[in-house]
Structure 1
Amino acid sequence: MSETPPVDPRQGFGDRPTQPFGQADPSWRPAAQGSGQAPVPPHAPPPVPPQAPAAPSAWAQPVPAGPGGGPRGGSRVWLIAGAAALAVAVTVGVVVAVSGGDDKGTASGPPPAGVPGGAGKAEEPTEKAFTKVPKGCELVKASTIEAIVPGAACTPGLFDDKDLASMITRGPRWQRPGHDGPYQTLEVHLSVMPGAKGNYDMKKSVALKDMGTLRKVMGSKPVSGLGEEAFVVYAGDSDGSLTQAEVIVREGNAVVTSDYTFSRKDSTTTQKQAEDAAVAVARDVLGSLS
């Protein structure tokens, strides 16, 4: 018979002293030989099958002992330690996934061309800005005037001598005196100002519109090799007495309109000659700006 009386589960252990986990009770004695009973320690756990040694885990790290020799905080400490280890593993995995796991593709040098901040980024061209404009009657060469309107006199525009800080305008006009020869006039309108593109588009739109019986468009086309963009419109009145070739051209912050008007009744000028005359005048005006 064992010297340790069996414990009644209904009564509990009572005041019986507990031993640290894994240590034998000093009061325990093996059963007498021949009793037919196997020795059963009162508090020892069942034997654990042997296992191969494994790498230490965060779940198996020692925990500071609390009062009574047991782990401090119990299962809560193990749960917190496990959660912290899991968070570290997830963070490392995210960093590796984002970076590609190696240093390939990392920004170790200047960004390529086309990327903001890249050394190879093409710079946007700056618009040509004119600041010096001659007087209105000096915009067109004397030789050009003589070839188009021989003997014509120049009349300056109203604002040819009143330059503003934000805009410069010119509006000279050439016309033959009296009634010597066929009727011919040449007018120039120049604007040097910010927003020249919008000014050009507006003048082009107006020139392409018919004006009832006063003006009917008979032809129009773009002009190459003149400024940044240029357009010519050939129009005349309903009775065919007056015809006009009008060229609108823009270069940088300057917009030029040259109008060559003549009478078809007493002139042999063709449409091409009239358009060429208006183009030559516009070219002279752009060449006088700086």
Structure 2
Amino acid sequence: MSETPQLDPRKGSGETGPIPPLPERAPAAPSAWSQTVPATLPQHGDPAAGRGRGSARLWLIVGGAALAVAAIVGVVVAMSGGDGKNTASENSPAAPGGAKPPAPGAAEPAGKTYTKVPEGCELIKASTLARIAPGTECKPSQFDNATMAAMITRMPSWKTPFGSSGAFLDLDVNLSVSPGAKGMYDMHKKTALTALGKVRKVTDSRPLHDLGNEAHVVHAVDKAPMDLAEATVIVRAGNAEYTVGYSYDVQRSGMNQQQAEDAAIAAAHDVLGSLG
């Protein structure tokens, strides 16, 4: 009995021909999760924020960082490469602030399309500042931007000067004009209501019916032992969205909740009136 010859698998059975070698596997593409993340984010702010008020400013620092991160997210996803003019494009493929863009065929809620924005320190009238924030100094933000096709941003703040004998006061505006205004509005409203819940208590939250397409005011007070409070107004008008934050020292200012809310609302009206 003769032995059956062994077949070489590389040569096939003789009927179908040699088996082609397997293709080499391409090296795996790097995962987005493996990319290096910068260790720190850009820092900005007034040196006056560090003067001797200790832990009373803790949630302001935390809140400022949260707003800065939100601003960075909104700017990063916006289209770049504008012509340097203070105009906003209506054709961005992605909504800023992490919000989902409208579905095909869907449109943002109706409203005016704004294309021109003044410089940050010109958003609020001098007469209004003299009434609600006397003695403060305006500082524009490093996020103020006039060169992006899909978004215009302004983030100025008015603070009591370093070494001032007056009570602490911080008035800030966070404005963006972009196709993603609705998503930014929803995000900022949620942030005002929930982001600092562990260190402050919300004492008022209600809609405003005479400001833009939709607006909301939130007032919150520090939990002990801190002694600051803030009235925040969030507004969407067409393709513009912004917040006005009015932070003050509860004990030293002699101001109450209604006065703080009225001040923030007055500033919010000025901001909207400045847009074109």
Asked if Structure 1 and Structure 2 have the same fold, meaning a TM-score greater than 0.5 normalized by the shorter chain, the answer is yes
Number of residue equivalences: 167
Identical aligned residues as a percent: 53
Task: Kindly provide the CA deviation profile for residues 248-283 of structure 1, in whole angstroms up to 9, marking residues without a partner as x.
Answer: 011000011000000111121111100000001111
- Asked if 2 retains the 8 angstrom alpha-carbon contact of 1:241 and 1:265, the reply is yes
State the TM-score, normalized to the length of structure 1. Answer: 0.55
Identify the match of residue 150 of structure 2 among 125, 143, 166: 166
Query: What is the rounded CA distance, in whole Å, between the counterparts of 1:125 and 1:261 in structure 2?
Result: 31
Query: What is the rounded CA distance, in whole Å, between the counterparts of 1:266 and 1:126 in structure 2?
Result: 43
Query: What is the rounded CA distance, in whole Å, between the counterparts of 1:195 and 1:211 in structure 2?
Result: 24
Task: Kindly provide the CA deviation profile for residues 88-143 of structure 1, in whole angstroms up to 9, marking residues without a partner as x.
Answer: xxxxxxxxxxxxxxxxxxxxxxxxxxxxxxxxxxxx99531100000000000001
State the TM-score, normalized to the length of structure 2. Answer: 0.58
Task: Kindly provide the CA deviation profile for residues 17-76 of structure 1, in whole angstroms up to 9, marking residues without a partner as x.
Answer: xxxxxxxxxxxxxxxxxxxxxxxxxxxxxxxxxxxxxxxxxxxxxxxxxxxxxxxxxxxx
Query: What is the rounded CA distance, in whole Å, between the counterparts of 1:210 and 1:161 in structure 2?
Result: 26
Q: 1:126 to 1:259 in 2, by over 3 A?
A: closer
- Asked if 1 retains the 8 angstrom alpha-carbon contact of 2:109 and 2:238, the reply is no
3-state SS, counterpart of residue 182 of structure 1: coil
- The CA RMSD over aligned residues, in Å, is 1.7
**Structure 2 gaps, min length 5:** 1-107
Query: What is the rounded CA distance, in whole Å, between the counterparts of 1:125 and 1:201 in structure 2?
Result: 13
Identify the match of residue 237 of structure 2 among 251, 267, 275: 251
- Asked if 2 retains the 8 angstrom alpha-carbon contact of 1:168 and 1:193, the reply is yes
Please state if 1:138 is matched with 2:131.
Answer: no
1:194 aligned partner, one-letter code: P
Query: What is the rounded CA distance, in whole Å, between the counterparts of 1:247 and 1:196 in structure 2?
Result: 15
Query: What is the rounded CA distance, in whole Å, between the counterparts of 2:141 and 2:260 in structure 1?
Result: 23
Residue 190 of structure 2: aligned partner: 205
Bigger helix share: 2
- Asked if 2 retains the 8 angstrom alpha-carbon contact of 1:232 and 1:246, the reply is yes
Where does 1:30-179 land on structure 2 (aligned, <5 Å)?
Answer: 127-177=111-161, 178-179=163-164
Rg: which structure is higher?
1
Residue 90 of structure 2: aligned partner: none
Query: What is the rounded CA distance, in whole Å, between the counterparts of 1:287 and 1:217 in structure 2?
Result: 28
Deviation at 1:180, TM superposition (A): 2.1
- Asked if 1 retains the 8 angstrom alpha-carbon contact of 2:111 and 2:213, the reply is no
Please state if 1:274 is matched with 2:260.
Answer: yes
**Structure 1 gaps, min length 5:** 1-123
Q: 1:181 to 1:130 in 2, by over 3 A?
A: same
